Structure 1
């Protein structure tokens, strides 16, 4: 994926329009949290700066601040580019155990370019606990399958590490034991998830895998050439 995920965002008119949309939405996050209360967080993301995509935030469900990074969900939308679609009413779990219900709505300019997102996160941990208690009392089994753990934070490196580690775990073998085809597939998958749209990601992935930066660039180039 190209380094500039917004495509035409480099054009002054398009960038000015996108800046205006973000500026208009920035005060909206305070209104959303004021409406839903202390268990709510609202965030405006700017995909043009994935390493510090949080440009406005109210509430503290995920513990991030302005200048914080996007999560794996944001990376997925970033990778999709203009084909990104809204993600509504999904459940995730933070690394400190909170159960979070979220909706992520893609921001587009008049040309249809996806350049950011408005996210609303609700901490429903207490609600889920009550639901479990009532279900136990009523003899109703809990729904199978825990929600995926999501990395929220102010440092994009933690998100990248999480994506690399999750992808490696699916192989169930360390990097030296993978075939070339499997290594290329790993890099292809990371690229599809938007990992390499982040500045410095190739070096970080190389370090996480224990390979040289030159090797990482070589694998990435091979996957994109094919």
Structure 2
């Protein structure tokens, strides 16, 4: 964020106004609903208000990998509405992520709604079985999403998931595949948080210098402005 005092005051006012709505929205849908308000100026502790306990979030917790992806898109990010995802514990969630913008159009936060529809899906299967037919209309989740109050655990889960999709260990990857891994991690916003380069390097079993080098090359290949040093030592994004 640019540190403009007037804009920061405006963003604080928007966050404050929405904070009072969080409890009301969650109460409307009951215990299957969770509402989380994020301030992306502090990605490692972006949760500023939460109601409900679907994903176990708490105030002061980190953003999820969905939030990191939105953060990586910057001001080009848009609302993501009515999508399905699955937690690592197996819960099926119907979610919406609505970005917050200041008067300049800059994205600085998000209001997220998560509804646990696991029981609904199970009920549909039971009713279909009783009726003698197959369950219909059951949508598939886009993938497993990591929710956590600790940003380190979120980053580690993203790195592990990307390695699994490659079906190879780091030493088995060719140079092009290694660059693709870093490009994908960058697109998912992993390097927007402090110490991310060091953490990714440790997770992959490579040196910090190698991680910086791969990130720089990956950004150069896509024409992304490269400042890998700020990814691990910079302030709040």
* Alignment equivalent of 1:140, drawn from 134, 156, 161: 134
5+ residue gaps, structure 1:
1-5
* Residue 210 of structure 1 pairs with residue 205 of structure 2: yes
C-alpha distance in structure 1 between counterparts of 2:190 and 2:96, whole Å? 22
Question: C-alpha displacement at 1:145, in angstroms?
Answer: 4.3
Greater displacement, 107-116 / 212-221: 212-221
Greater displacement, 19-28 / 105-114: 19-28
Matches within 5 A, 1:48-127: 48-127=41-120
DSSP 3-state at the match of 1:38: helix
* Higher RCO (CA-CA < 8 Å; seq separation 6+): 1
Give me the CA root mean square deviation. 1.4
* Residue 183 of structure 1 pairs with residue 192 of structure 2: no
Distance 1:149 1:20, change over 3 A: same
5+ residue gaps, structure 2:
222-237
* Per-residue deviation, residues 118-173 of structure 1 (Å, max 9, x unmatched): 01111111111101111223312454745411111111111111111111122211
Do the aligned residues in 1 keep the contact of 2:80 with 2:98 (CA within 8 Å)?
A: yes
C-alpha distance in structure 2 between counterparts of 1:49 and 1:207, whole Å? 23
The corresponding residue for 1:221 is 216
The corresponding residue for 1:37 is 30
* Residue 173 of structure 1 pairs with residue 168 of structure 2: yes
The corresponding residue for 1:24 is 17
DSSP 3-state at the match of 2:110: strand
Distance 1:103 1:12, change over 3 A: same
TM-score, length basis structure 1: 0.92
| Number of residues of Structure 1 aligned to a counterpart in Structure 2 | 219
